[in-house]
């Protein structure tokens, strides 16, 4: 249940962003089109997020694949009917198993209703998700972007976004690495799309290998 939205130079979102901020527009032009891929299996997305916490990408991928093989499709019934020791044997820690079952129990009792999420504002969704053990604000924000496809989510606690912003705008060191707070007003109402480009600037090595955006070939 994946959906894809590709943002190319003529897309109205990109045009709007570039009209408001010429600096981020330089980055967009260097990188080119990007695609936002969303996972419509909300339970799976959250379970996989919990599994990946504080693990390397390789370790997280391995354990996620084991869990998918264990459960097949990640559904409420399959998770709740899988013995805890089976999850342990797949490499999931006892704490994360507790978090996963807390999530599933809240969904089972309708304390969290995925079907109502499309009616809720971002903060309301965040408040619901962070009521689950092991789900913090960052995880909830990533869910808003990569599951609900919300275009106006800014994760101020994301260290990568702060680092990329510092590089792109050539900012001096700031207390607690707060670099987006003053600049991000120009990105409204498309914070999520700007975030995709900032993350991509790290993934492509711009931030670590080029002094400024103008030096990127």
Residues 113, 69, single domain; the answer is: yes
Residues 124, 140, single domain; the answer is: yes
CA–CA separation, 90 vs 132, rounded Å? 22
Residues 172, 114, single domain; the answer is: no
Query: What CATH number did the domain enclosing 159 receive?
Result: 1.10.1670.40
Q: Enter the pTM of the model.
A: 0.93
- For position 213, what pLDDT does the model report? 97
Q: Dump pLDDT digits (tens) for 126-140.
A: 999 999 999 999 999
pLDDT surpasses 80 at 1: no
- Dihedral Cα 24, 154, 157, 182, nearest 10 deg: 60
Q: How confident is the model at residue 148 (pLDDT cuts 50, 70, 90)?
A: very high
Write phi, then psi, for 5 (nearest 5 degrees): -125, 120
Domain that includes residue 101, residue range: 41-146
Name 43's Cβ contacts closer than 8 Å, sequence gap at least 6. 74, 75, 76, 79, 103, 104, 107, 114
């Amino acid at each position: 249940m994946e959906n894809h939205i590709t943002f190319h130079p003529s897309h109205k979102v990109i045009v709007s962003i570039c009209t408001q901020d010429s600096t981020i527009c330089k980055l967009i032009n260097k990188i080119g089109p990007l695609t936002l891929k969303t996972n419509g299996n909300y339970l799976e997305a959250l379970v996989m997020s919990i599994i990946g916490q504080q693990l390397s990408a390789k370790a997280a991928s391995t354990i996620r694949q084991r869990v998918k093989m264990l459960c097949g499709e990640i559904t409420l019934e399959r998770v709740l009917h899988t013995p805890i020791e089976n999850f342990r044997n797949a490499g999931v820690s006892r704490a994360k198993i507790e978090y996963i079952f807390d999530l599933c129990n809240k969904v089972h009792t309708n304390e969290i209703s995925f079907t109502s999420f499309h009616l809720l504002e971002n903060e309301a969704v965040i408040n619901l998700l962070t009521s689950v053990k092991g789900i913090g604000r960052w995880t909830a924000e990533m869910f808003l972007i990569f599951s609900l496809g919300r275009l106006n989510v800014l994760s101020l606690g994301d260290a990568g976004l702060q680092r990329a912003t510092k590089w792109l705008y050539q900012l001096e060191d700031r207390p607690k690495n707060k670099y987006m707070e003053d600049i991000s007003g120009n990105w409204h109402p498309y914070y999520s799309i700007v975030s995709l480009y900032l993350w991509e600037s790290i993934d492509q090595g711009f931030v670590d290998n080029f002094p400024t955006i103008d030096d990127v070939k």
